[in-house]
Structure 1
């Protein structure tokens, strides 16, 4: 089934990485559109380069902590029952495997960037990130925990967002100079993080739709109409999140263009404004 914390923790990780990815992509493109290239991770400036790999450390440490919670705390160390994997904690094992994929991605990227042992081009790192999201997609699409009713609908929408992450990361490896693809990757990751939050507050928090309730670790609705209204609410919530993220992207682009745009970028807009007046 899941829990409030079980959705908020990964949601926070995806949200932080996604927002930073959007901001960095916009700044890099505005600063120099001609030399823009897709990046699967973005260095953090300042402090004499001491925070350069902060994003990768957040991914590795955050995913590792969440994996330990799923594997050790949630299972209470009861891994086996009668010689086989504990069937009551299969979802915890699956979540751990999913998080392990992101730990591997972060470690491989750090080795590629900081050492000479595994020099990989940025395109290869994009495909490794796509593989990590693909593992997450397969987990939620073929989960041992059967998601039904309203809970199933929220997880179905989550699967769609994860698929967007897979496609955008893979496309980044194929089209390494495309700003829209790099920006789409950040948007998809941000939306996934926000949807984790939305699921937590709706199914396990104070935003449960009227006519539905959480009882005995299951979401049940009093009638089909209540369940349908809950699904309509989920559609509206996703639309609101998409609209909010796109508005934030547009606002950040306008802000960055006015503050950090290079002279060539600004001259282009001045010429375009003159042509429009003529």
Structure 2
């Protein structure tokens, strides 16, 4: 069984990075659709380049901070008991392994972008990110088999969203000019962050469905009917979140596109004029 902070902290990281990724993807596509390229991370513009790598620092530091909470604070430093890993904190160790993968991704990306020691193309960084999501998927997939009832259903939906993150990130590596793959990656991360929050508020907060309660560190429902009602409510919550993200993407693009419409028209006319000149020159 987890906790409210245990879901809210990673949810915040995924939500912030996902929203930033969607915004940057829409901006890059609207500014020049023909030269669009998939990016696994997006630099922060302005500030004389001082915040360029902020996203990667947020990923690395955020993952490391959450890793310390899971591995050190949650275990009360009782990591080894009688020569083996403390069996009462295996849940924390599993989460630590997942967070370690995202920390590694952040560090690898920073080394690749800021130094000459590990130069990696964007496609390779996409695959490193997909490896981190795969570790998360495997954790929650096998971890979720121990969850039952309503709690298990919420974690099952989380596993589906993580799988979408994996597929969209790999698609970005295989199709480096695909705007849908890049945008889908940001949307999947955003939905994952939102669902972490939804799980926290539902299972450990004030949104517990009627007929269910948190007792003895386990979610229990009074009857199968109450459990089914809770699962249907979870499906509706997922639909609302997915619809909201789609609406936000559409609204953001409607807001962004007019800013680049004029420059794109000028660029297109310039390219057409250049093509005409090339045709005239070849005819001569």
Q: How does 1:99-248 map to 2 (within 5 A)?
A: 99-143=99-143, 146-248=146-248
Match in the other structure for 1:89? 89
Equivalent pair of 2:31/2:264 in contact (CA under 8 Å) = no
Match in the other structure for 1:12? 12
Shift of 1:266: 8.6
Match in the other structure for 2:59? 59
- CA distance in structure 1 between the partners assigned to 2:151 and 2:167 by the alignment: 25
Q: TM-score, normalised by structure 1?
A: 0.94
Partner-residue secondary structure (3-state), 1:143:
helix
Equivalent pair of 2:64/2:100 in contact (CA under 8 Å) = yes
Q: Which runs of 5+ in 1 are unaligned?
A: 269-278
Q: Which runs of 5+ in 2 are unaligned?
A: 269-284
Partner-residue secondary structure (3-state), 2:143:
coil
Runs of 4+ residues deviating >6 angstroms? none
Q: TM-score, normalised by structure 2?
A: 0.92
Shift of 1:260: 3.3
Partner-residue secondary structure (3-state), 1:44:
coil
Q: How does 1:11-90 map to 2 (within 5 A)?
A: 11-90=11-90
Shift of 1:264: 2.7
CA deviation string 1:1-46 (max 9, x = no partner): 0000100000000000000000000000000111100000000011
Alpha-carbon RMSD across the aligned residues, in angstroms, is 1.3
Aligned length: 268
Shift of 1:174: 0.2
